[in-house]
């Protein structure tokens, strides 16, 4: 059985469903814009203060939107108990984890393509000067965050209070990663460059590796509990 | 239903359920249940609501684990209890259709073919077999309950499984659907498959079934050749 064929089938199916339903992209994008607007009107003083708030606003928005995306992508497998059919496929755990992670990254990435420019522009961050470096931090941070979100969404998918439990479990576990992302983004927004942010970026990469390994290891057990 | 069946030989010829119990908290859904299922047979499991029928089916499907006892697939030295090795040989039609309503009938079967390593050409064959050619490119969400059930049956049989588990397969099916299912059961029997069907339809009988199991309060009350209809058996063992 081909890993690639299974991965492509699951990821393709999820993206096709999302392109038809558009429920994750529309709701999550609208939600993220509302969060940004609320922060924007919360009474920051001068432009420097507003700019210093941008990294926190960006990562809070990504964290909020992430739970919407992760929960929904796995919930689709539960609605008609399609997960039971998937579990009967040969050697499915690896391809299923990879596919769900890729879909979560793709959907969160699509929303970030809107969120990052909106935050940088509205909070007075010079996008042209720091946009590339910020995009790198966002990409690296999103990878570890999505890995942890993927396995937690799978393991909580059978529970009645899954929508409440996912952020309660996910946020404390990925807090070190999010804090490192905020600090790295803060240095970049302040104009200190990638060199100054290297230490925080190393921490982000380390958490990516840890969360990816842990999530892949736990995903099989999470699936068995969701059948 | 027309066409060939049994291109893939059965992977095993017996399933043995040995002293299996399944507890949820303090209550037992099944208690020390033992039985054997053989290739080329169609077995019906009947019983009142909450008797443990679906729990037994889920244990056979390896989607649940017994609290005690074990389920063994195959015979002697070749027997297997490892779930990952067995699952690709199981076809399941459950209470839920296990379909994606946003996808068309063809896309649902193509998805199953891709994740299970089945030749995509089999998709059109199965759509024709279950009479869904005309609706194949409409979203499954627009199907009637009977059409969704036909698609669910096609999805379960697409991989030519050795162990076919059907939970209330007649749900939503009309008279032609019932005839299609009877024909399918005959083909599965002829192809040496092990078929287990949970049903509340008591008009099935000895002409379609090789065996009947009556479950009540988590225990097997009867296990043997069915009488003329399941209704007679049910009235004797349960009512």
> Which residue, among A136, A150, A120, A151, has the nearest Cα to A202 in the 3D structure?
A136
Minimal-distance CA residue of chain B relative to A5: B114
Rounded to the nearest angstrom, the gap between the alpha carbon of residue A208 and the centroid of all alpha carbons in its chain is 12
| C-alpha dihedral sign at B162, B216, B202, B154 | negative
Separation of alpha carbons B116 and A157, rounded Å: 23
At B231 the pLDDT is 86
B31 vs B46, B53, B60, B71, B217, CA distance in Å? 16, 12, 15, 14, 9
Please provide the average confidence, as pLDDT, over all residues in chain B. 90
Separation of alpha carbons B164 and B169, rounded Å: 11
Regarding predicted confidence, which is higher, B235 or B59? Answer: B59
Domains and CATH numbers, chain B: 14-100+147-237 (3.40.50.300)
CB A81 to CB B84 under 8 A? no
For chain A (227 residues), the mean pLDDT of every run of 10, in chain order, is: 92 95 90 88 67 90 94 89 92 95 97 92 82 93 97 89 90 96 93 90 97 95 74
| Number of separate domains in chain A | 1
Minimal-distance CA residue of chain B relative to A93: B84
**pLDDT of residue B56 exceeding 50:** yes
Query: Which residues in chain A have Cβ-Cβ distances shorter than 8 Å to B115?
Result: 5-6, 9-10, 86, 89, 92, 95
Query: Which residues in chain A have Cβ-Cβ distances shorter than 8 Å to B99?
Result: 80, 82
CB pairs under 8 A between A and B: 76
**pLDDT of residue B158 exceeding 50:** yes
A85, A99, A227, best to mutate vs chain B, most B CBs in 10 Å? A85
**Structural domain harbouring A32:** 3-226
Separation of alpha carbons A148 and A177, rounded Å: 11
List all residues 6 or more positions away from B169 whose beta carbon is below 8 Å from its beta carbon: B93, B149, B153, B181, B197, B199
Burial of A175 (0-12, 13-18, 19+ CB in 10 A): exposed
List all residues 6 or more positions away from A43 whose beta carbon is below 8 Å from its beta carbon: none
Torsion of CA B91, B93, B95, B97, to 10 degrees: 110
First to last CA, chain B: 36
- Residues of chain B contacting A, Cβ within 8 Å: 61, 63-64, 84, 87-88, 90-92, 94-103, 107, 111-112, 114-117, 155-156
A15 vs chain B: nearest CA distance in angstroms?
A: 11
Query: Which residues in chain A have Cβ-Cβ distances shorter than 8 Å to B117?
Result: 1-2, 5, 90
Q: Are B113 and B122 in contact (CB under 8 A)?
A: yes
CB B117 to CB A86 under 8 A? no
First to last CA, chain A: 22
Token pair, residue B114, equals 């891709």
| Cβ atoms < 10 Å from Cβ of B105 | 29
**Confidence check on the interface: ipTM exceeds 0.95, yes or no:** no
Q: Could you report the per-residue pLDDT of B184-229, keeping only the tens digit for each? A: 999 999 999 999 999 988 888 778 899 999 999 999 999 998 887 8
Region B38-62: what's the mean pLDDT? 94
CB B103 to CB A92 under 8 A? no
At B1 the pLDDT is 41
A129 sits in the region (left: phi over 0; alpha: psi -120 to 50; else beta) called alpha
Minimal-distance CA residue of chain B relative to A6: B115
> Residue B233: pLDDT band by 50, 70, 90 thresholds?
confident
């Amino acid at each position: 059985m081909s890993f690639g064929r299974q991965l492509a089938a699951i990821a393709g199916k999820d993206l096709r469903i999302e392109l038809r339903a558009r429920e994750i992209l529309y709701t999550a994008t609208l939600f993220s814009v509302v969060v940004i607007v609320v922060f924007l009107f919360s009474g920051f003083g001068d432009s420097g203060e507003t700019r210093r708030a941008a990294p926190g606003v960006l990562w809070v928005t990504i964290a909020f939107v992430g739970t919407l995306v992760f929960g929904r992508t796995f919930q689709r497998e539960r609605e008609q108990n399609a997960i039971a059919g998937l579990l009967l496929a040969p050697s499915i755990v690896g391809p299923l984890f990879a596919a769900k992670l890729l879909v979560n990254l793709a959907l969160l990435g699509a929303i970030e393509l809107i969120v990052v420019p909106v935050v940088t522009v509205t909070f007075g961050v010079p996008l042209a000067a720091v946009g590339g470096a910020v995009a790198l931090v966002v990409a690296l941070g999103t990878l570890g965050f999505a890995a942890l979100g993927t396995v937690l969404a799978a393991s909580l998918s059978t529970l009645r209070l899954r929508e409440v439990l996912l952020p309660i479990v996910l946020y404390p576990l990925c807090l070190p990663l999010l804090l490192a992302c905020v600090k790295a983004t803060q240095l970049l927004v302040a104009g200190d460059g990638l060199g100054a942010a290297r230490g925080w970026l190393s921490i982000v990469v380390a958490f990516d590796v840890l969360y990816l390994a842990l999530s892949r290891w736990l995903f099989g057990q999470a699936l068995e509990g969701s059948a | 239903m027309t066409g060939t069946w049994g291109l893939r030989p059965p992977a095993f010829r017996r399933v043995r359920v040995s002293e299996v119990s399944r507890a949820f908290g303090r209550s037992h859904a099944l208690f020390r249940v033992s039985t054997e299922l053989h290739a080329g047979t169609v077995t019906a499991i009947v019983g009142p609501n909450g008797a443990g029928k679906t729990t037994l089916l889920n244990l056979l499907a390896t989607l649940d684990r017994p609290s005690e006892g074990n389920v063994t697939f195959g015979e002697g030295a070749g027997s297997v209890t490892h779930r990952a090795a067995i699952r690709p040989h199981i076809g399941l039609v459950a209470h839920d259709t296990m379909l994606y309503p946003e996808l068309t009938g063809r896309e649902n079967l193509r998805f199953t073919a891709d994740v299970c390593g089945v030749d995509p050409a089999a998709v059109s064959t199965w759509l024709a077999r279950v009479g869904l050619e005309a609706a194949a490119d409409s979203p499954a969400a627009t199907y009637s309950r009977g059409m969704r059930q036909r698609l669910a049956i096609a999805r379960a049989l697409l991989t030519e499984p050795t162990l076919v588990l059907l939970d209330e397969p007649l749900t939503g099916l009309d008279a032609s659907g019932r005839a299609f299912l009877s024909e399918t059961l005959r083909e599965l029997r002829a192809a040496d498959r092990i078929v287990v069907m949970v049903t509340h339809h008591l008009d099935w009988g000895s002409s379609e079934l090789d065996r009947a199991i009556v479950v009540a309060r988590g225990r097997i009350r009867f296990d043997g050749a069915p009488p003329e209809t399941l209704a007679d058996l049910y009235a004797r063992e349960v009512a």
